[in-house]
Amino acid sequence: MSLIRILLINILIFFILIIILEFSAGFLRIMNGHNFKLPTLIKNDFQNENISDPCIKSKTDVLLSHVPDHKNKCIVRGGIVVSDFVVHENNSKNEIIVTLGGSTTTGFYQKVSEGFTWPLYLFEKRKNEYNVYNGGIGGYSSSQELIKLIYQVSRLKNVKYIISLNGINDLPGNFEKEKSKNFPLITRTQFQMNKSQQWYNQRPNQFESVIPNLFSLIKYITNNSILDINKIKLDNFEIYSQISASERWKKNVIFMNKISEAIDAKYYVFLQPTMGLKGVQSKVLDGNNDFLLFHSLDEEYIKNLNNFYDEVKSICLELTFCFDITDVAPPDGNNYSDPRHHNKNGNLLIAEKINNIIFK
């Protein structure tokens, strides 16, 4: 009995010590001008809902910033995972449709729409003719799509169509205002690795969410923390005249169209519909799920969103391979999973629209 008591007392002392260290590390963060990090034992963000879910884990990639870290354990609806693609295949001899985009396209975020992605619906409509390789990855912008097209898609055989559904992740200031201003072609992680010449591990750590301040202190001591991008400038970067986010999107999709031609594939880019855009995407009825989601949006976000989309819509009209489908799947009842992602009902409407434009 005494040994058990001693063991319990030591365990209690250990946890008290961890709590003291966690609050001390948090106090140091405040003294250093940062915010105190709260533990996230319960996570609502679909990307972090279950840190052990192999479908949502990611790891660092020097070219693409991050790629899936599924270790061949991710199970998806209506297909299989092959490397960084979710593959929907009916006949191995069929030609291939490759889909590109961010979290609104990816098949790895199975919980967003219960696995009913628009590429899956597109496959169901064309499965007698085509297989679908879904290359969408959460967080990817058109810049990462372009790199993925060169880096991975160009090595695939029998690619007939390459379809991008994008726009929202090219929004200036989408995640980091300074990144879009000073470092438009690389992510914060890539810049940090290049600047410090150190590898940054993006694999989520289960304990880091419980004691975030202590982990932050450990990273700081070991020189493994993210550099403050607002305080760092690339050497002589200011001498260059920089294009806007919409112009960068335009160049990226033009590049993707030319590369697709080079590999004998047809390229289409679709401006993705998203909640908060002027018109039908802002017309919501009281008393339904979409109404609640719409009113959770920030006014500044809606303003920036529409300013950017006004520009890319005008550009899209000039491109023969670009189609504006921003009016599809509006928030008229139950089309959205969250303000940035459609549910299975919305994805079906998007797939039908894309299918009709390409094949009908």
Per-residue pLDDT of 225-237, as tens digits, reads 444 444 445 444 4
What one-letter code names the amino acid at 7?
L
Q: 350: domain range?
A: 75-172+244-359
| For residues 277-282, average pLDDT | 94
The CATH number linked to 159 is 3.40.50.1110
- The sheet that has 159-166: what strands, in order across it? 80-82, 85-88, 130-134, 95-101, 159-166, 266-271, 322-324
Q: What percent of the chain has pLDDT over 70?
A: 77
DSSP letter at 204 equals: -
Over residues 296-312, the pLDDT tens digits come to 888 999 999 999 999 99
Give dist(CA 132, CA 97) in Å, integer: 5
* Residues linked to residue 166 through DSSP beta bridges, in sequence order: 271
DSSP state of 163: E
Q: Does a structural domain hold residue 118?
A: yes
Model confidence at 194, pLDDT cuts 50, 70, 90, reads low
Q: pLDDT band at residue 275, thresholds of 50, 70 and 90?
A: very high
Alpha helices in 78-211 (DSSP H): 118-126, 142-151, 177-182, 188-196
> Minimal CA–CA distance to 104: which of 342, 346, 357?
342
Which H or E run contains 85?
strand 85-88
- Residue 19: helix, strand or coil by DSSP? helix
Six-digit token pair at 218?
């450990």
Q: Pick the more confident residue, 62 or 238.
A: 62
- Which phi and psi (to 5°) does residue 131 adopt? -95, 155
Q: What is the DSSP string of 12-60?
A: HHHHHHHHHHHHHHHHHHHHTT-PPPPP-SS--SGGGS-TT-TTT-EEE
Is position 167 within any domain? Answer: yes
Residues 6+ apart with CB under 8 A from 286: none
Residue 308 to residue 196: CA distance in whole angstroms: 33
In a domain, 20, yes or no: no
Euclidean distance between the first and the last CA atom of the chain, given in angstroms as a whole number: 78
The answer to whether residue 249 is domain-embedded is yes
User: What pLDDT digit, counting tens, does each position of 313-334 carry?
Assistant: 999 999 999 999 999 999 988 8
Structure-token pair, residue 228: 């403050």
Domain count across the chain = 1
Q: Which residues pair with 163 in a beta bridge?
A: 99, 268
Mean pLDDT of all residues in 104-126: 95
Would 262 be classed as within a structural domain? yes
The pairing of strands 341-342 and 336-338 is antiparallel
Task: For residue 48, tell me if it sits in a domain.
Answer: no
Q: Tell whether 19 is covered by a domain.
A: no
What secondary structure, in 3-state letters, does 295-312 show? CCCCHHHHHHHHHHHHHH
Residues of the chain with pLDDT > 90, as a percent, come to 52
**Within-domain flag for 137:** yes
Pairing between β-strand 85-88 and β-strand 80-82 as defined by DSSP bridges: antiparallel
CA–CA distance, 111 with 151 (Å, rounded to integer): 28
